[in-house]
A and B are shown apart, each in its own frame.
Chain A
Amino acid sequence: MKLNVVKQRGIWWLISGLLIAVSIAAMALSWSQFNGPVRPGLDFIGGTRLQIERDCSEAAACENPIEITDIREILDGQGLEGSSLQLVGNSGQGIAIRTRTLDVDEQTNLRSALTETLGQVDPTASKIDVVGPTLGKQLLIAGLLSLLVAFAGITVYLSLRFKFDYALLALLALMHDVVITLGIFSILGLVLGYEADSLFIVALLTIVGFSVNDTVVIYDRIRENFKLMPDQGVDKIVNEAVNQTLGRSINTTMTTVLPLLAIVFFGGDTLKFFALALIIGFLAGAYSSIFIASTLLAWWRSGSNSNTDMSTPVPE
């Protein structure tokens, strides 16, 4: 099988264009509802998440499942209407509650009221996260800042190793991957109630660092081909490079996605969505490297039509 990516670039650009349009629409909708491109979680807007589980060492204590309505009553009684509630743990013997930021006394009151209704709880199976609103903002800013720095760092590095236009086009492909990942997760937020935590920003950064790899491999090959076949047209050289590296691009993505799939299936709740974000980003990255970054380069170089300076010297 031999792909002619340059000839079919209309199709690839259309697919990406549509995906990006859908992503931006989802983010806009998400923004109007939750004030963020993806539904922001505890880490970014502050709040309290309390998870407790019944102590089931005596079987009688766990005969009946926890009644959501009882818990709702307790919350209403403490002025915590509108908090979200979720049954967790084995056979619904645990409960996770997400409220606004509670101070120490409020936390203690809530805990003791819950213990009264639920019976003995297992302290070693409980979990509490309290994040103040100011800290949430700090985390968000730090995350966005590191994303920018990573973008800049990679652009600088690629400009040094290749040329500035290669770097810029690689960056464009990266943004494509980030936007699509954001879009899919804003849809997950709208439909499934997914809330982005700091790990989501970590995932975006990792996508930036890793997805550029496939692009680098292809660009490396394009550069090599320019040297080997200086009289060929840009389109042919790019096509050739994409086909030569296709196996690599697919397999490196495969080997990286496989362990992530293992996390999605076996890992705990915290890591599941993290791994899923990485998978989506890496797949988008492989797609954009093969079909977008390459065709953009072919288009750009044939547009500037300066065949002579294409044979960028390979730094030894």
Chain B
Amino acid sequence: MGKQRSMLVVIVGLAIAAIITIVQLPTQLGLDLRGGSQLTLQVLTNEQITQISERELEAVQRVIENRVNGLGVSEAIVQSSGQDQLLIQLPGVSDPGQAQRVLGGTAQLEFRAQKPGTEGELRAISDIVNQQEVQQASILAVGNNNISDEDLAELEKVTTDLQASRETLLELFEDTELGGDKLRDALASPLGTGQSWQVSIYFNNEGGALFTEMTRNIAGTGRVLGIFLDERLISAPTVDVQYAATGIPGNSATISGSFNADAARDLEIQLRGGALPVPVEVIENRTVGATLGRDSIQRSLYAGIAGLALVLIFMAVYYRLPGILADVALVVYALLTWAAYNILGVTMTLPGIAGFILSIGMAVDANVLIFERTREELRAGKTLYRSVESGFYRAFSSILDSNVTTIIACAALFWFGAGLVKGFALTLAVGVAVSLFTAFTCTRNLLFFVISFPQFRKIGYFAPSLAADLPSTSQPSQS
């Protein structure tokens, strides 16, 4: 009995911890609930690139990240999915037209020479761009949950201004024919033994000739070579005076400067992304307005509460005392599972909520199996204590089997399913795991604790139909 009491203290402690977790750690809501746009981009192959490898996908992903940053959306996520797809989440975007237009299409990489006489302007406008980028990043860092309306207005303004500044910057450079299609590859490598790195670029013959010509014109003048990816300056090296007569020959060059390993690698990937002539296409777009999302949450909340209430009533009416204890365990179950979602960082989607509600119904199944078995043992004439004990013991294998089969189905869903489906599989699987715990610790200890009090040891509380047949005995507890 002492053991039960201490276990109950542990369970109460867990329940309190779960409530604190739920309050402190917000549930992560999927875009279908908080509103936003989710896009799937397909990286297409063409004659030159017939297969998309990890290397290509990484480069394209970097290009897309640049474009997503340009949209100025808070908490945007770009991740690869499968071998040749990218998944993009844009919270709060309700008209995905602009995003779709910006994100689709082939990357535009260009090498442009700076126009003569624009040195001062370039410095000034570069400073402004940098400053605006920092400003944008700092607002985005606030996160969607804390962002205020003023911040949002500010963000929109900065994003527009930044776009304008970038356009001004672009005008300081001459038009060019040297595009990404003439770049073969880019490679970052350490420079000597020190901490600094360099990025080597390799052109094809046509590109090499154009590059030589361009570098000859600006070598030693202090003007820079602007490397633009999607009309955004990603690097602006100068060309050493020694090439003033010849230009940089040999179809290749190295960019060095204040690169550390990360910066060099980043430039390499961006250059490679620009060199790839692979087009990307938006093949899926699911956008939900914030109001509709809120509506879904509310309806699901009603459904969840109604579902829980129905199960609670059913258990109490049908199974009496143990049913009420199972209800307590079920509430603990719901709290623990919710807290587990928040701790594990499960993103709650609409199907995920359905999985949670369904798991409430499934969690109580273990109790049904145990109580039915207990009644059977009572009917066979065993004492109350023994019946409860063997109810738990003998129902165990059935409970385990049935939960394992559900987990198998969840695993199949999780491996093959797309985003939405995964949410359902995850919430259901977490629910099933937690329910095993609550059935065998929570209900069990509660039940043994309660029957340690003689006034609760009435057969009628456990199996009303039996109470009529058998004399109401309160057998001595054997604990």
Contacts and interface: CB of A to CB of B under 8 A. Distances in A.
Interface of A: 51, 104, 107-108, 111, 122-132, 134-135, 139, 142-143, 145-147, 149-150, 153-154, 157-158, 161, 198-199, 201-202, 205-206, 208-210, 212-213, 216-217, 220, 244-245, 247-248, 251-252, 254-263, 265-268, 270-271, 274-275, 278, 314
B287 A134 contact: no
Contacts of B2: none
B42 A149 contact: no
Interface of B: 35, 40, 42, 94-97, 100-101, 104, 281-292, 295-296, 299-300, 302-304, 306-308, 310-311, 314-315, 318, 350-351, 353-354, 357-358, 360-362, 364-365, 368-369, 372, 375-376, 397-398, 401-402, 404-413, 415-418, 420-421, 424-425, 428
Nearest to A204: B409
Would you call the interface of chain A mostly helix, strand, loop, or mixed? helix
Contacts of B412: 146-147, 149-150, 153, 205
B406 A210 contact: yes
A255 B418 contact: no
5 contacts: A154-B405, A213-B365, A251-B318, A262-B310, A263-B300
A198 B314 contact: no
A126 B289 contact: yes
Contacts of B417: 142-143, 146, 198, 202
Contacts of A314: 397
Nearest to A150: B412
Which residue among B306, B307, B311, B411 has the maximum number of chain A CB atoms within 10 Å of its CB? B307
A247 to B, nearest CB: 5
A149 B414 CA distance: 11
Given A202-B421, A205-B409, A256 B354 contact: no
B402 A217 contact: yes
A263 B303 contact: yes
A248 B285 contact: no
Given A124-B94, A142-B416, A259-B358, A206 B300 contact: no
Would you call the interface of chain B mostly helix, strand, loop, or mixed? helix
Contacts of A157: 401, 404-405, 408
Contact of B398 (A108, A216, A271, A275): A216
Nearest to B102: A104
Given A143-B416, A202-B424, A265 B358 contact: no
A270 B296 contact: yes
Contacts of A132: 42, 281-284
Contact of A127 (B281, B283, B287, B401): B287
A17 to B, nearest CB: 26
B284 A265 contact: no
A126 B290 CA distance: 8
A314 B397 CA distance: 10
Task: Return the 4 tightest CB-CB contacts between A and B, nearest first.
Answer: A209-B409, A259-B307, A213-B402, A262-B307
A206 B359 CA distance: 11
A177 to B, nearest CB: 13
Contact of A104 (B97, B283, B287, B410): B97
Given A202-B413, A263-B354, A271-B351, 18 more contacts: A124-B290, A125-B292, A126-B95, A130-B286, A146-B415, A146-B416, A149-B412, A149-B415, A153-B408, A209-B409, A210-B409, A213-B365, A256-B361, A257-B361, A258-B310, A262-B302, A262-B303, A262-B304
